[in-house]
């Protein structure tokens, strides 16, 4: 019998998702595949200490997803990947993302966050992509006073980064802005507050504290523990990025936040309560982070009013869901908390 080969189904959009094996990137890929959009995703990641194929392993059998190991600083690999897969849009999550590591050494932060973004912009421009979304952070705005709760970061707040991490992200944001003004590139920038949820590397506050408590270890609270962050569930952040990618106006910045300011003591109390641990036995106050920003708070009215996005998850239930995820996925974080991680932990916390 004569056999007819079916022509490959042509995806409408092909999105390069850089940093897709990290915390937020992998949650973004998972969300888009679950929502069943007619698109192809090219997950591109260098697999640094923070990149983990286990974050994507359950998704790799999906024919809408391909994975490419590569560095965003390597223009040849970025270009060949984008050409081979016919990439039409870029969402750049790839970054060195941990403030404490940027204090130990800023080199990799400048390299990936600044040079890597410049390379991605140049290749994307030369190939004429239809959209380039830069995933940035509220930390580029610096710090807010504690005694003026009405003051929040808006998109007009001047950039005033205080850590090498946030300085490198601010530099990248400036490059993205300049490619819009100089070359008319179709760029979008999002600036989000602190995320929590599944697959977050256990160097960040919430997964570090939850996994330490499961291991029967103490949790190291910096300074007086009264620094404030605006916590957002990762899926809400991913939905917001998808909204901006689809409805955002080129050249614009969109703040994303949870309207959920909590200090680190409160976060610690919530985790301890949920895990049945006591403050006296489990909390160790340690020397503060140098240059530690006191308060972050996002005014997310622009994305709400102009694009109709609002967070859907409530902190009190999403934090329990998150803690339970780390309880049920012990192998995932135990594999990470070994080898290199232990050396890092020793360097970061032993002398505090």
Active site residue 150: no
Catalytic residue among 45, 89, 96, 139: 139
Single out the residue of 149, 102, 188 nearest to residue 296, CA to CA.
149
Q: Specify the stretch interacting with ligand TDX by CB under 6 A; choose among 11-19, 95-103, 153-161, 306-314.
A: 95-103
Active site residue 100: no
C-alpha dihedral (269, 52, 41, 67), degrees to nearest 10:
180
Site string for ligand TDX, 232-271 (x = CB under 6 A): --------------------------------x-------
Considering only residues 54 to 113 of the shown chain, the ones binding ligand NAD according to CB under 6 A are: 71-73, 93-97, 112
Residues 6+ away with beta carbon under 8 Å from 137: 166, 169, 191, 192
Binding status of residue 235 toward ligand NAD by CB under 6 A: no
Residues 6+ away with beta carbon under 8 Å from 228: 146, 261, 262, 263, 264, 294, 295, 296, 297
Single out the residue of 39, 40, 92 nearest to residue 67, CA to CA.
40
State how far the Cα of 325 lies from the Cα of 197, in Å rounded to an integer. 8
Catalytic residue among 138, 173, 230, 239: 138
Which one of residues 51, 116, 198, 220 is an interface residue with ligand TDX (CB under 6 A)?
Answer: 220
Q: Are 161 and 113 in contact (CB under 8 A)?
A: no
Q: Specify the stretch interacting with ligand TDX by CB under 6 A; choose among 4-12, 141-149, 215-223, 310-318.
A: 215-223
Binding status of residue 137 toward ligand NAD by CB under 6 A: yes
Which one of residues 180, 222, 332, 344 is an interface residue with ligand TDX (CB under 6 A)?
Answer: 222
Binding status of residue 200 toward ligand TDX by CB under 6 A: no
Instruction: Name the phi and psi angles at 102, rounded to 5.
Output: -70, -20
| 122 or 341: CB nearest ligand TDX | 341
Q: Specify the stretch interacting with ligand TDX by CB under 6 A; choose among 81-89, 176-184, 200-208, 320-328.
A: 200-208
Instruction: Name the phi and psi angles at 214, rounded to 5.
Output: -60, -35
Site string for ligand NAD, 188-227 (x = CB under 6 A): ----x-xx-----x--------------------------
State how far the Cα of 54 lies from the Cα of 102, in Å rounded to an integer. 25
Q: Specify the stretch interacting with ligand TDX by CB under 6 A; choose among 9-17, 62-70, 96-104, 152-160.
A: 96-104
State how far the Cα of 201 lies from the Cα of 321, in Å rounded to an integer. 17
Active site residue 138: yes
Judged by beta carbon distances under 5 to 8 A according to partner kind, the member of ligand TDX, ligand NAD, none in contact with residue 45 is: ligand NAD
| 91 or 185: CB nearest ligand NAD | 91
Catalytic residues: 138-139, 165
List interacting residues with ligand TDX (CB under 6 A). Answer: 97-99, 137, 139, 194, 204-205, 208, 220-222, 227, 229, 264, 289
List interacting residues with ligand NAD (CB under 6 A). Answer: 18-19, 21-25, 45-48, 50-51, 71-73, 93-97, 112, 116, 135, 137, 169, 192, 194-195, 201
């Amino acid at each position: 019998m004569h056999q007819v080969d079916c022509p490959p189904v042509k995806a409408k959009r092909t999105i390069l998702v850089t940093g897709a094996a990290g915390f937020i990137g992998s949650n973004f890929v998972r969300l888009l595949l679950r929502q069943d959009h007619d698109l192809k995703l090219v997950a591109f990641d260098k697999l640094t200490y923070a990149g983990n194929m286990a974050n994507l392993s359950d998704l790799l059998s999906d024919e809408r997803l391909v994975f490419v190991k590569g560095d965003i600083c390597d223009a040849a690999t970025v270009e060949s990947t984008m050409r081979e897969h016919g990439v039409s849009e870029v969402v750049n999550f790839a970054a060195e993302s941990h403030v404490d590591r940027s204090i130990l050494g800023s080199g990799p932060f400048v390299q990936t966050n600044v040079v890597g973004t410049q390379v991605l912009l140049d290749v994307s421009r030369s190939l004429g992509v239809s959209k380039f979304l830069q995933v940035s952070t509220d930390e580029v705005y610096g710090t807010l006073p504690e005694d003026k709760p009405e003051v929040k970061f808006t998109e007009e707040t001047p950039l005033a980064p205080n850590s090498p991490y946030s300085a490198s992200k601010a530099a990248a944001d400036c490059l993205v802005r300049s490619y819009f003004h100089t070359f008319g590139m179709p760029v979008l920038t999002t600036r989000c507050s602190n995320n929590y949820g599944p697959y977050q590397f256990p160097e960040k506050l919430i997964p570090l504290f939850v996994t330490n408590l499961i291991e029967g270890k103490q949790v190291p609270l910096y300074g007086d523990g009264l620094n404030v962050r605006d916590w957002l569930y990762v899926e809400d952040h991913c939905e917001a990025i998808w909204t901006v990618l689809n409805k955002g106006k080129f050249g614009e910045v969109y703040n994303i936040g949870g309207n959920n300011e909590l200090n680190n003591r409160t976060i610690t109390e919530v985790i301890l309560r949920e895990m049945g641990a006591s403050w006296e036995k489990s909390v160790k106050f340690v020397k503060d982070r140098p240059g530690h920003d006191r308060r972050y708070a996002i005014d997310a009215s622009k994305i709400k009013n102009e694009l109709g996005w609002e967070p859907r998850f409530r902190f009190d239930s999403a934090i329990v869901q998150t803690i339970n995820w780390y309880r049920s996925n012990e192998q995932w974080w135990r594999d990470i908390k070994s080898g290199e991680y232990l050396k890092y932990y020793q360097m970061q916390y032993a002398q505090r």
